[in-house]
């Protein structure tokens, strides 16, 4: 079900205001009502759970927001000029988003991704015409970061290094888009915002906006339980390269989720709610359900989380078999 509060946002673009390009459809994603699912997990009746369906963005993930904002700002201030190549590291979704934006805007894109990312992610990047550079799979996303830095250092004039982990346009995309959408779609009733930490842009940007609207809003950051728990799209920050855009002072509560729990909830969302989502979505919902469970009966909580992508890019991994 889609939250009733979605209607004002869905109606913003009139019939005569058709999109000029696919990039105009980034943002204004549906807010799904997962309250019935949450109650089935033991959440009290006085608490509601909602989730942003970010696969509705062009490119199929939340990363379209940040990628487009990064490109827009770089084109405006001249950092991305004629003849330059956009380059960055990514575990998959941002890579796909960059490739999509590059195809529309007409600039070449080179992407460094760990060799063990799913076949679907590699295929999508190539489908949009981007060049894929594979890094050591054992070094994960940090290895991809180190490789792209070496490539840029060897020929800095050739590239615009988008640097999603340290580019403020990343979190600003969510401060200007995701956060306001959540606020409007819940009619300002959001009490808890739960989001996974990867580049940390979603948590920082949306969380910062929501905190400005309501100082009592609780911001919950989610990451894997340890460095051995692999959840695509999330980082275990204690042993990873910490993104420069991360603002730990915003975090009211840190939560960790095991890979097994993330998978179990991902599977449950498909079978009980009809939502075929990626593993980071399962992790986010697992944490959000736990937050909702802990709210007392006299608290009318509105917990909102975010589903970064659907499950289509993970099928070849065999985990849905």
Residue appearing with tokens 């009592």: 216
Using DSSP's 3-state secondary structure scheme, residue 317 falls into: helix
- As beta bridge partners, residue 277 has 310
Q: Which segments of 26-85 does DSSP mark as H helices, in order?
A: 35-40, 63-77
Confirm whether 249 is a catalytic residue.
Answer: no
Given the residues 52, 280, 281, 313, the one annotated as active site: 280
Residue 89 in tokens? 């590291």
Q: Could you give the angle at the alpha carbon of 224 between the alpha carbons of 312 and 173, nearest 5°? A: 65
Range 185-190 contact pairs with CB under 8 angstroms and sequence separation of 24 or more: 185/3, 185/5, 185/6, 185/9, 185/31, 185/50, 186/3, 186/5, 186/31, 186/50, 186/302, 186/304, 187/5, 188/213, 188/214, 189/302, 190/214, 190/217, 190/302, 190/303, 190/304
Q: Which of 52, 63, 122, 235 is catalytic?
A: 63
Question: Is-catalytic flag, 280?
Answer: yes
**Can you point out the beta strands (E) in the chain?**
31-33, 48-53, 85-89, 109-114, 131-135, 159-161, 192-196, 218-224, 253-257, 302-307
Closest Cα to residue 60, out of 240, 311, 268? 311
Residues involved in catalysis: 63, 280
């Amino acid at each position: 079900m889609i939250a009733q509060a979605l209607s004002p946002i869905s109606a913003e673009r009139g019939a005569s205001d058709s999109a000029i390009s696919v990039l105009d459809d980034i943002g204004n994603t549906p807010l799904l009502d997962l309250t019935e699912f949450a109650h089935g997990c033991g959440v009290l009746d006085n608490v509601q759970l909602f989730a942003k369906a970010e696969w509705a963005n062009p490119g199929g993930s939340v990363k379209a927001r940040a990628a487009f904002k990064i490109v827009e700002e770089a084109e405006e201030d001249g950092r991305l000029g004629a003849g330059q190549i956009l380059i960055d590291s990514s575990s998959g979704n941002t890579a796909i988003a960059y490739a999509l934006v590059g195809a529309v805007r007409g600039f070449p894109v080179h992407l460094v991704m760990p060799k063990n990312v799913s076949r679907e992610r590699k295929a999508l990047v190539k489908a949009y015409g981007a060049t894929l550079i594979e890094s050591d799979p054992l070094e994960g996303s940090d290895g991809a970061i180190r490789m792209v830095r070496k490539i840029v250092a060897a020929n800095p004039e050739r590239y615009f290094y988008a640097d999603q982990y340290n580019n403020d346009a990343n979190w600003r995309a969510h401060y200007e888009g995701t956060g306001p959408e959540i606020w409007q779609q819940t009619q300002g009733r959001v009490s808890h915002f739960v989001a996974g930490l990867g580049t940390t842009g979603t948590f920082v940007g949306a969380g910062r906006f929501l905190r400005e609207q309501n100082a009592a809003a609780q911001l919950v950051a989610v990451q894997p339980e340890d460095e051995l728990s692999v959840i695509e799209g999330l980082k275990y920050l204690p042993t990873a390269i910490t993104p420069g855009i991360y603002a730990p002072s915003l975090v009211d509560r840190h939560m960790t989720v095991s890979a097994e729990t993330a998978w179990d909830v991902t599977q449950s969302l498909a079978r009980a709610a009809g939502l075929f989502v990626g593993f980071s979505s399962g992790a986010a919902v697992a944490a959000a359900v736990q937050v909702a469970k802990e709210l007392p009966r006299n608290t009318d909580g509105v917990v909102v989380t975010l589903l970064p992508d659907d499950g289509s890019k993970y099928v070849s991994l065999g985990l849905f078999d």
